[in-house]
Structure 1
Amino acid sequence: MGRTTALGIMCKAPRPGLTKTRLARVLGLERAAALSGCFLRDVAASIEALPAALGARGYGVYAPAGTEAELRALLPAGFGLLLQEGADFGLVLAGAVRALISPHGHAGAILINADSPTLPTALLARAVEALARPGDRVVLGPASDGGYVLIGLKADHPGLFRDIPWSTQAVLEATCAQAAAIGLAVERLSLWYDIDDAGTLDVLRGELAGEPLPFATDLVGGPARATRTFLAGAP
């Protein structure tokens, strides 16, 4: 497998009531689940568009067990599947990094939010390049809600994911504080966003309609073809 970098999308099979529950208040359970599947397709397409020279391989880091066939139908044929381990999100992330680096044998692992359908391939390329440089570090792609859209590591650092207030606006800063506590350098990339409620869905609709993102000064969003097609037919 050489010195390739794994890019794993943290995802759930798009089933009604299991995914995008806050968006279901706006779209209904069925349409929210279908939109979640479109998000997954589009994030995977952004990974697949990376130049081959970067040496990247995509994965779906998924839950629950038994949904492999559903995810295979959504992800590119060359993607691997890795079942999430544990219930606590920090343990899930730490376990995914550990598994992708060893025994899967990748030089580094970048874990990506499944809820950013316009995630620029250029941002992913920057993450791969930053992780590949000599020296140990954590690479973070900050999100507009105070979390991150991606996190990259080249070594197992389970302490980085401990005592993080998940699903709050303090996730990014708490992660940086944990990195400082364990002596791990931090490299921050450009800001992006994810879609998890009516407000961020409106931001996405605006972006797809050509409106500039106020926080994206040096990046252009990806085409998000599946999401664009779905929302074009949404009521």
Structure 2
Amino acid sequence: MTQVQLAVFARAPVAGQCKTRLIPALGAEGAAALHAQLVERTVKVAMSVAHAEVTLWTEGKADHPFFQYLACAYPVLQWRQQPEGDLGERMHQVFVAHQQPTLLMGSDCPVFTSALLTEYAALLQQHDAVIVPAEDGGYVLVGLQTPCVEIFRCVDWGSDRVMDQTRQRLCQLALRWIEPEMLWDIDRPEDMQRWADMRK
């Protein structure tokens, strides 16, 4: 199997600056702690994929103690700072930097497994794009064969229209894409029970 490029977006777990919708339920410190837990879980799953080269694209202070911990715990993990721009521009620049088929994922989907990521990598070999929609109307993973900035334009990031607008862009560009399944991520207090059930 050829080498798999996996890119993970992660924000520094700073209280009050991450998982803000969970603060009413967990408090600022609790939400940040959960975020750190999810980031490390995502990194561990990505690192377990055979033939994978994993790059953590960080937002916020690169010298945050949590990132320093990850650097020690996972020494073969690659590191890059997220570029400037809105979410679409930052995602596009990831694909530009890798310049080969790449799967880019967020760090708050606890359903990812090594088997799923391996499956998505195989599907990307047969399609221009692989996108895994999220239940909230966005998506938790996007894979591209080659960079294509138009996919990320005219999208209302953070809204429940992201996936629908992305489908429109893919159709307009006449790209071959596949949506293997719909998954969920942890953004709202009601997601916490599913997370707790998974860990039983």
Same fold, judged at TM 0.5 (above): yes
Q: Report the secondary structure of 1:198's partner residue.
A: coil
Deviation at 1:121, TM superposition (A): 1.9
Give, in whole Å, the separation in 2 of the partners of 1:4 and 1:57: 7
Residue segments in structure 1 that go unaligned for 5+ positions in a row: 102-106, 210-235
Task: Determine if contact 2:62/2:81 at 8 Å carries over to the other structure.
Answer: no
1:70 aligns with 2:70: no
Aligned length: 198
- Show the counterpart of 1:232: none
Once the two structures are superposed, the pairs formed by residues 146-225 of structure 1 within 5 Å of their partners are: 146-209=137-200
Over 4 Å off, 4+ runs: none
Give, in whole Å, the separation in 1 of the partners of 2:65 and 2:193: 31
Task: Determine if contact 1:42/1:118 at 8 Å carries over to the other structure.
Answer: no
Task: Determine if contact 1:138/1:184 at 8 Å carries over to the other structure.
Answer: yes
Give, in whole Å, the separation in 1 of the partners of 2:15 and 2:65: 16
Task: Provide the alpha-carbon RMSD of the alignment.
Answer: 1.8
Task: Determine if contact 2:151/2:170 at 8 Å carries over to the other structure.
Answer: yes
Q: 2:119 aligns with which of 126, 129, 148?
A: 126
Task: Determine if contact 1:40/1:74 at 8 Å carries over to the other structure.
Answer: no
- Show the counterpart of 2:31: 32
Task: Determine if contact 1:8/1:112 at 8 Å carries over to the other structure.
Answer: yes
Give, in whole Å, the separation in 2 of the partners of 1:152 and 1:181: 18
Deviation at 1:65, TM superposition (A): 4.4
Give, in whole Å, the separation in 1 of the partners of 2:15 and 2:68: 18
Deviation at 1:44, TM superposition (A): 1.0
Residue segments in structure 2 that go unaligned for 5+ positions in a row: none
Q: 1:109 aligns with which of 102, 109, 112?
A: 102
Give, in whole Å, the separation in 1 of the partners of 2:68 and 2:174: 39
Identity between Structure 1 and Structure 2 (%): 25
Amino acid aligned to 1:29: A
Q: Report the secondary structure of 2:102's partner residue.
A: strand
Amino acid aligned to 1:70: F
Deviation at 1:68, TM superposition (A): 6.0
Amino acid aligned to 2:181: S
